[in-house]
Structure 1
């Protein structure tokens, strides 16, 4: 068994698609109408057949509350791996991405936390 799809609640699907592709560098895999919303997935440009991230509308009240509470407590909704956190921090900062935590070494790992502009904090970790 393996993870093939995971979801992330977003406040605006169009804004999220733009941020995750144009800013973070993911690649759109699916964008299919689904009622008043869309089934939108993105994948890593390094692994186009890998795990898909669904940009899920946060229309359900529980989803909105979940998102707000995570952000209020400074808890990232998910984590992405990067090969060089300092370079990634610099690249994203130059694109206007706001970080709530600059790259921080923690033992053998380094992490940073960014705001995805769609209601989430995202942790990046140097692998």
Structure 2
């Protein structure tokens, strides 16, 4: 068994696609129209056949309070692995990304948390 798909709940699929591809560097893999929304996925350019991230519309009534509570409490919705949190932090800051947690060493793991502009906090992490 392996993870095939994971989702991030976004308030605007077009804005999310721009952020996740142009800023974070993911690559669009799938785009299928489904009424007002799309089945829209991105993947890592390093593993185009790997786990897909669905940019899932957050239109369900339960989602907004859930996302707001996570952001209010500073809890990331998901985590992405990077080779070096400090370098990725510098790169993303230069692109205007707003961080809610600067790089922090926690034992063998370094993490940082940013706002994805789509209503989520996202963690980046690497393990030494």
User: Normalized against structure 2, the TM-score is what?
Assistant: 0.97
Q: How does 1:90-105 map to 2 (within 5 A)?
A: 90-105=90-105
Per-residue CA deviations over 1:56-114 (Å, capped at 9, x if unaligned) read 00001101111111111110000000001111000000000000000000101100000
Structure 1 partner of 2:4: 4
Give the match's secondary structure for 1:105.
strand
Structure 1 partner of 2:29: 29
Structure 2 partner of 1:80: 80
Cα separation, 1, equivalents of 2:66 and 2:42: 22
Cα separation, 2, equivalents of 1:17 and 1:92: 16
Cα deviation for residue 31 of structure 1 reads 1.0
Give the match's secondary structure for 1:88.
helix
Cα separation, 2, equivalents of 1:113 and 1:3: 23
Q: How does 1:107-122 map to 2 (within 5 A)?
A: 107-122=107-122
Structure 2 partner of 1:55: 55
5+ unaligned residues in a row in structure 2: which ranges? none
Cα deviation for residue 126 of structure 1 reads 1.2
Count how many residue pairs are aligned between Structure 1 and Structure 2: 127
Question: What is the CA RMSD across the aligned residues, in angstroms?
Answer: 0.6
User: Normalized against structure 1, the TM-score is what?
Assistant: 0.98
Name segments (4+ residues, structure 1) moved above 4 Å: none
